[in-house]
A and B are shown apart, each in its own frame.
Chain A
Amino acid sequence: MTPRVYVPRDAGALSLGADDVVTAIERQARRERLPLHIVRNGSRGLYWLEPLVEVDAGRGRIAYGPVRAVDVPGLFRAGFLQGAPHALHLGAIEGHPWLASQQRLTFGRVGREDPLSLESYVRQGGYAGLHRALELGPEATVRELTASGLRGRGGAAFPAGVKWHTAREQAAAVKYVVCNADEGDSGTFADRMLMEGDPFALIEGMTIAGVTVGASRGYVYLRAEYPHARRSLGAAIEVLRRAGRLGSDLLGSGRDFDIDVRVGAGAYVCGEETSMLESLEGRRGEVQVRPPLPAVKGLFGAPTVVNNVVTLATVPVVLARGAEFYRGYGRAGSHGTLPIQLGGNVRRPGLIERAFDLTVRELLEDYGGGSATARPIRAVQIGGPLGAFLPASQFDTPLDYETLAAMGAVLGHGGVVAFDDTVDMVERVRETLRFCAHESCGKCAPCRIGSVRGEELVERIRRGFDRERDLALLAELCDTLEHGSLCGLGGMTPFPVRSALRHFPGDFRGTR
């Protein structure tokens, strides 16, 4: 067979020169008159090996990485089209312990094939979930989702089935499904990988939501910083419209459903659902008081299901394989799997989907391989810029919802960022408050003004005039933020601040 050469078109791989690698491969193949077929797949999530090139000459896929354009002539000389040995040779990537040890349910297809080939999507189990939902009917579909234990993966971890049940119960002619693709938490990229690497799965999940709650229109609210995801979603929507899988009378079911992508405009707070709905309506993204819940009165006043990308892309898995199957993964309160995004200062960063069964240490050591700078890892921040810092003494903490909540931390969207021992926790706290000030929607005084005042306090603490007094004021500010904030932006800012103060006191007293 003509060798198939897989080179990801994931934004991360592109950021490391994947397109140049493709150009070099094509040029070399022409020069040597070797036929080959290039497939642009998603990323497998082993980012330290990107651009990861895989070759299939009929005996399974063999990987090479990280490949740069300058490596290409040498790869040809070594015979990589036949899977021959080379310094960058990695063998079958699915056998790589980093990947083989994962439980990839939501990310099962990501990185395998061309994400815009509907034929390969269906061949790999795509649309089995929608078929099952249509068979079951709305009520049983909601029951299935509730029984699976799937909780929202966007941060608040609200049970998905409960939200759908509420939206379905509303008697309204018009309802909406909104996908939260704002992925504002720094340190997270699962939504992006999924939208680029398996956009049909997200759209199938939204379609299931639509036929279940009785909505015929959906929106994806996508952050402006994700141009690649915007292109892949746009292309995927076109493919599905042409195939009759979006539009009217889906698969002869008599149901209509179609979606549009709306692009955000650089406001972190617009990831908060009520702010997002304001933004979708074309207004300033100011957070709104709940109730009413969006599932009761959301977009343009209509009942609206708002779910994160990962939540929606997991729905087809739950339906196709059954609630029992999904619930079989994970533990009480944390059912199923979580795509963890490991980034920052580690040797092997990337996407690790596991059944809530890892400790921080296992994640950092077994997957991360320690720090990239070969220094001790001093702290991790879990759950985005407003998540708590954990010191090395807490690295045996298991990564599940309950355990973290009990210690004043959050799992959030599943981002874990590692810092080595050069990290300055005073600086981290200053950055946190700066971020809060920068992104505040302005509605609550503690968040709008307190954060600015907090930044000044940290500056004074660093200089050390009246340190104990200023530290007490900072602690007080955290209490005010916690109690006087309408949303999690102000409300969660105390997580990183308090955890840094508690676990790294020396940094703030100049005695480290």
Chain B
Amino acid sequence: MSTHRPQELQALVLAITARLRDQPGPLLEVLHGVQDALGFVPGEAVPLIARELNLSRAEVHGVVSFYRWFRSTPPGRHVLRVCRGEACQSMGARALEAHALATLGIDCGQTTADGAISLEPVYCLGNCACAPAVMLDGELRGRVTREDLDALLESWGAGQ
């Protein structure tokens, strides 16, 4: 996903800013648009967005870095979010996270060397009554067991 050529990136960013620039306070919407399309907000996009929205680069950069949702580096092909909220931890989410990290051989917030999977922390997915909960590329799962997770990681091609 990181292999966008400069012209392609420019065209993509311009299409997004053109669509949203007339909305009031559009920066977050624009950043979501870029990240939805590319999986992250590349550093090269920052000056373009700044120019199109009449903001300084520092302002755009400041917003990207404030919000944890926006990433400046490409994610793995799959993103696994394990809930760290209290309800999930009371049902073993911490052990589940440790197990996933050990299986993948990474730390929380990192991506496996083969680029297959990123594991990110999240504080609550609103599924506290079906704890422990995880989110897989936008798909929510509840009452997740270690076996569920193993099966999933295998299907995503981890540990090969």
Contact = CB atoms under 8 A, between A and B. Distances in A.
A186 B140 contact: no
Nearest to B141: A15
Nearest to A286: B66
B67 A342 contact: no
A263 interface: yes
B140 A385 contact: no
Given A14-B140, A15-B130, A266 B69 contact: yes
Nearest to A496: B86
A304 interface: no
A444 interface: no
Contacts of B29: 262-263, 282
A285 B66 contact: yes
B27 A282 contact: yes
B38 interface: no
A279 interface: yes
A323 interface: no
Interface stretch (B99-107, B117-125, B152-160): B117-125
Contacts of B129: 12, 45, 47-48, 189, 341-343, 349-351
A110 to B, nearest CB: 14
Contact of B90 (A14, A16, A227, A420): A420
A419 interface: yes
Interface in B5-44: 24-29, 31-32
Nearest to A281: B25
A265 B69 contact: yes
A446 interface: no
A250 to B, nearest CB: 22
Contacts of A262: 28-29
Given A187-B124, A188-B124, A282-B27, A344 B68 contact: no
Contacts of A268: 123
B142 A12 contact: yes
Contacts of B116: none
B25 A417 contact: no
A435 B128 contact: no
B147 to A, nearest CB: 15
Contacts of A12: 126-127, 129-130, 140, 142
A381 B86 contact: yes
B130 A344 contact: no
Interface string A326-355: 000000000000000111110001110000
A167 interface: no
A420 B92 CA distance: 11
Contacts of A228: 140
Given A186-B124, A265-B31, A266-B68, A47 B86 contact: no
Given A186-B123, A284-B62, A343 B67 contact: no
A186 B86 contact: yes
A385 B86 contact: yes
Contacts of A345: 90-91
A495 B123 CA distance: 19
A267 interface: yes
Nearest to A260: B23
Band of interface residues on A: 35 or more
B91 to A, nearest CB: 6
B23 to A, nearest CB: 8
A15 B91 contact: no
A265 B123 contact: no
Contacts of A438: 123
Contacts of A419: 86, 90
A26 interface: no
Given A12-B127, A15-B133, A417-B128, A187 B85 contact: yes
A225 B27 contact: no
A349 B63 CA distance: 37
A418 B29 CA distance: 37
Nearest to B140: A15
Interface string A376-396: 000001000100000000000
A437 interface: no
B127 A344 contact: no
Contacts of A285: 66-67
A158 interface: no
Contacts of B86: 186-187, 344, 381, 385, 417, 419, 428, 431
A372 B62 CA distance: 44
Residue from the set B66, B142, B143 with the largest chain A CB neighbour count within 10 Å: B66
A50 B130 contact: yes
Interface in B42-65: 59, 62-63
Contacts of B59: 283
A11 B85 contact: no
A280 interface: yes
A192 B140 CA distance: 13
Contact of B68 (A16, A263, A267, A428): A267
Contact of A184 (B123, B128, B130): B123
A66 B97 CA distance: 26
Contacts of B135: 225
A423 interface: yes
A45 B130 CA distance: 11
A262 B31 CA distance: 12
A186 B25 contact: no
Given A12-B140, A186-B85, A282-B63, 5 more contacts: A189-B126, A280-B25, A341-B129, A343-B131, A435-B123
17 contacts: A12-B126, A12-B140, A14-B140, A183-B126, A187-B85, A224-B32, A263-B28, A264-B69, A265-B69, A266-B68, A279-B28, A300-B25, A343-B87, A343-B128, A417-B128, A428-B86, A435-B123
Interface of A: 11-12, 14-16, 45, 47-48, 50, 183-189, 191-192, 224-228, 262-268, 279-285, 300, 341-345, 349-351, 372, 381, 385, 415, 417-420, 423, 428, 431, 435, 438-439
**4 A-B pairs with the lowest CB-CB distances in the bound complex, closest first:** A186-B85, A282-B27, A343-B128, A265-B67
Interface of B: 24-29, 31-32, 59, 62-63, 66-70, 83-91, 122-131, 133, 135, 138, 140-143
